[in-house]
Amino acid sequence: MLAATRASTSSLRVASRAVVVAGQRQAAISAIRRRENVSVRSIQTVAQTDRDTITRLLYSLGSKREVERHLRIFSSSSHPSQPAKFAVIKVGGAVFDELDELALSLSFLYRVGLYPVVLHGAGPQMNDIIENEGVVPDYVDGIRVTDSKTLQIARRVFLEQNLKLVGALEKLGTRARPITSGVFTADYLDKDKYGLVGKITRVDKRPLEASIRAGALPILTSLAESAEGQILNVNADIAAGELAKELEPMKIVFLNDKGGMYHGVTGQKLDVINLDEACLFLYSLFSGSRNEYDQLMKEPWVKYGTKLKLREFKELLDHLPRSSSVAVISASSLQRELFTDSGAGTLIRRGYKLFKHESIDSLGADRLRQVIHDRDPDVAAGQSIAGILNDLKKTPYTIYGDEPLDAVAIVSRPEGEVPIMTKLLPSRSGILNSVVDNVFSAIKKDHRRLFWTAQVDDENRSWHFERAEGSFTRAGKSLFWYGVNDVSEVERIVKSFEEKGRIERSYLPVGPAAARAGGASGARSYSTLARRTVPSGTRGYATSATRGYATAATPPPASTERKRLALIGARGFTGQALTSLVSNHPYLDITHVSSRQLAGYSLQGYSKEPITYSNLSPEDVERMEKDGEVDAWVMALPNGVCKPFVDAIDRGAKERKSGATSVIVDLGADYRFENDWTYGLPELYGRDVVRTSKRISNPGCYSTSSQLLIAPLLKYLKRDAWPTVFGASGYSGAGTIPGINDPDGRPTTVPKVTSESLGGGIRPYALTDHIHEREAGRHLSNLLSDPSNPMKLAFIPVVSPWFSGIISTLSMPLSEKVAARDIKQLYEEKYTGEKLIQVKQEVPGLQDIENKHGWTVGGFQVHSEGDRAVVVGGLDNLLKGAATQCLQNLNLALGYDEYAGIPTD
């Protein structure tokens, strides 16, 4: 899907609650129909109002334009003669654990007039009952052998789950029809080998279409019947595939509890998988080789279930039109996947090869003429196709696109001048299946700087803003660019465009008076706009087309220069976690790693090249800094040990002939209270200061969670009653000690505290004056309206019998009465757009934070008297509490994308 700013969890929850209201309204309509003689037109009017309300709620997930565009595309996919062309949604059995969420998501589609065909499995439920009834499960080649007893259980379980889902939908006012037979005809797959397992030979879509015409969602099980009437068990994924082959829907959606497919090494969610063309996501992931389906299947992490899924998806999509695609997604994110350009899960599609042509003839003049005729707004406004083609030939150009021309772009590139993308012409399918994104990525690969324009009423306007680093709007058109950050250079380039006629109108202010007054068109001075700051994590542009301008985004383009990292003291858990992260970083390489205990042994968990531990002294470090051997240092040392190494780096930097200085990130507490060091918590204290810093102190794990918990509530801080945070951490937070040697003679790393030593309980410690207590209070005070009057907090830590993860509970007296929903809204507003922060309604559990790279907050409650809030937040102490945050800071300071090497889902 087109990359875009992700919708917040809160938006989905607000929208979901609205479905309940919508359901009540539908029930009211039914009552009216029964009790009063109301005209059909009146009922239709209420139903349209209901649809309009839900549609407006969808705008909270993405821009109005993209939501309406997807609605229009999906609505047009269905025809009275073929009503089941929108989507097939396969619901995994594990998703029934989130039945309410599933029903809300399906109700949304129903409310906006979309009728997916829903087919569900029930594997986990079957396993539970089979185990309870003493039936021993038997699998051959991964297929469940089904005897009469197993089939009896399967039939009962499928019927129960089907009715549960239908009942949940009906409670929301969404009509649903259970269809448990009559759709799938099957033969025995291999009766002697698998028993009563079927292979589908025919799909009868008439019951599904009848259900949709009657205004009800069809809810299917994956049971089939033989020609003789014998019920046969069929794998739900296979049944969904056969159903899709018959219906040929635009979308095939597989709902699972994981929310997508994930890379087996990095843990990063696979956003897009192109089966027939090189996927740009995989292109970056696999070190630059153009990987198609066959190459992907050779990857060592693609095995077992993942390989089977990919093979099934390819076989399915090979039978469907190229406009069809498969999405793997969670139930809670279904709306984001269907109605926003960003999507939320993993999109699998066939795709096409991309091309580049440097002449119209090599592409085919007639083909290009047809695309321009059908899609170019300038043609619709009256400009001739011949005139467009003649203008194109005035400078050297490149035409980018894919084989069926679902997306075509033309870049004018005179020698020695900044290129302009003069045309970007995507089809409906090109937008829906992200072909336009692949084409634009190919352009970015060829051109480090680019300018282009778009109409202010372009329905894809948000797409342009999200790919631009700056923009300016005047007289009905917006000018966009990337790769240029200096204000004066932008003005010079735009002026050159105007003088040479490369753009059709003046975008710069006409003079000082215009700059002061905003110009005749109401546009502001560009120089003023470019220096406006953009809040971290938000879009760098005006969201309203009526404002007449958009701000320039402040972050510079991400560097792709390879740089060298040295780790000092990397023996412990945090060092190991950081090593694994850097191993998957696209540009940052570990060149030195120092540990007194492990000197001479090889570094484990790092796959780029063999690295051997050394035992670097401060004198070694000074020489290395002087000679410019590394670009960044990470100090993973115990508190109080770091200073000699930092001093050595400072001395070496003064002797460097280049005048450059390496970046230092200290994971310990030595410099968290130093004014001349940058405190690296980007979500609270900003990115810009980290980008320009060479000395960064990484916040403590408890302190990170405490500050993120308290910051949104500072406006309600009660000065005479400080907030209290109770923090429960896994025992890895206590650190490590050298253990006995392994069989190879290597000293092992063992935790100072073990689960066994805790006896299954918790161990409170450092009950007052914990260093993280002072650390959090000091830095939070900088967010107060009067930092000279610092705040305090009480902090109580305990060690818990799990390995990693911190759950922090905040109890904060409030200066005035506040409702719980307002408390939650403060967090949503504070952390909108933050990729490593999740705001949820429920209290976060260990499963939400352990081995996760972000911070999760939830459980928003207020005392019955409204004067005390309780909020729960959590993070993995080894990741967002240490290694992940360290890599964030390194990325910013070294000029990389902030999240390079960090899985963000």
More confident residue, 475 or 668: 668
Structure tokens that stand for 425 in this block: 């012409």
Over residues 697-733, the pLDDT tens digits come to 999 999 999 999 999 999 999 988 999 999 999 888 7
Question: Is pTM beyond 0.85 here?
Answer: no
- Percent pLDDT > 90 in the chain is 41
DSSP assignment, residue 879?
Answer: I
**Helix (H, G, I), strand (E, B), or coil: what is residue 425?**
strand
Burial call 208-231: b when 16+ CB within 10 Å, e when fewer: bbebbeeebbbbbbbbbbeeeeeb
Over residues 616-647, the pLDDT tens digits come to 999 999 999 999 999 999 999 888 889 999 99
Over residues 14-59, the pLDDT tens digits come to 344 443 334 443 443 344 344 334 333 333 343 444 455 455 455 4
Over 70: is that where the pLDDT of 285 sits?
Answer: no
Question: Is residue 515 very low, low, confident or very high in pLDDT (cuts 50, 70, 90)?
Answer: very low
The average confidence (pLDDT) of the chain is 79
Cα–Cα distance for residue pair 459/318, rounded to 1 Å: 31
Over residues 318-377, the pLDDT tens digits come to 888 766 788 899 888 887 777 776 677 888 877 667 889 999 988 888 889 889 988 888
Over residues 408-447, the pLDDT tens digits come to 999 999 998 999 999 999 987 777 667 888 899 889 989 9
Structure tokens that stand for 863 in this block: 């005392």
Query: What pLDDT was estimated at residue 18?
Result: 41
Query: What pLDDT was estimated at residue 544?
Result: 26
Query: What pLDDT was estimated at residue 337?
Result: 78
More confident residue, 806 or 297: 806
Over 90: is that where the pLDDT of 219 sits?
Answer: yes
Query: Which DSSP helix (H) or strand (E) runs through 412?
Result: strand 407-412
**Residue count of the chain:** 905
Over residues 440-484, the pLDDT tens digits come to 988 998 999 999 988 877 767 778 888 888 887 776 678 899 998
Give CA separation, 101 vs 105, 119, 220, 647, 786, in Å.
6, 16, 19, 55, 44
Segment 183-190 shows an average pLDDT of 94
Q: Which residues contact 102 (CB under 8 A, 6 or more apart)?
A: 91, 95, 96, 165, 168, 255, 331
β-sheet bridge partners, residue 470: 481
Strand ordering across the sheet containing 198-203: 198-203, 184-188, 223-225, 231-233
Question: Is residue 553 very low, low, confident or very high in pLDDT (cuts 50, 70, 90)?
Answer: very low
Query: What pLDDT was estimated at residue 218?
Result: 96
Q: Is 154:236 a contact under the CB 8 Å cutoff?
A: no
Over 70: is that where the pLDDT of 290 sits?
Answer: no
Question: Is residue 277 very low, low, confident or very high in pLDDT (cuts 50, 70, 90)?
Answer: low
Reference 55, options 7, 117, 114; nearest CA is 114
Over 80: is that where the pLDDT of 575 sits?
Answer: yes
Domains of the chain, start order: 9-180+212-221+239-274+285-348 (3.40.1160.10), 354-547 (3.40.630.30), 563-697 (3.40.50.720), 701-882 (3.30.360.10)
Query: What pLDDT was estimated at residue 9?
Result: 34
Cα–Cα distance for residue pair 523/505, rounded to 1 Å: 14
Segment 254-261 shows an average pLDDT of 86
Query: What pLDDT was estimated at residue 573?
Result: 83
Known catalytic residue at 701: yes
Segment 874-897 shows an average pLDDT of 95
**Helix (H, G, I), strand (E, B), or coil: what is residue 515?**
helix
Which one is catalytic: 279, 642, 701, 886? 701
Cα–Cα distance for residue pair 397/395, rounded to 1 Å: 6
Question: Is residue 73 very low, low, confident or very high in pLDDT (cuts 50, 70, 90)?
Answer: low
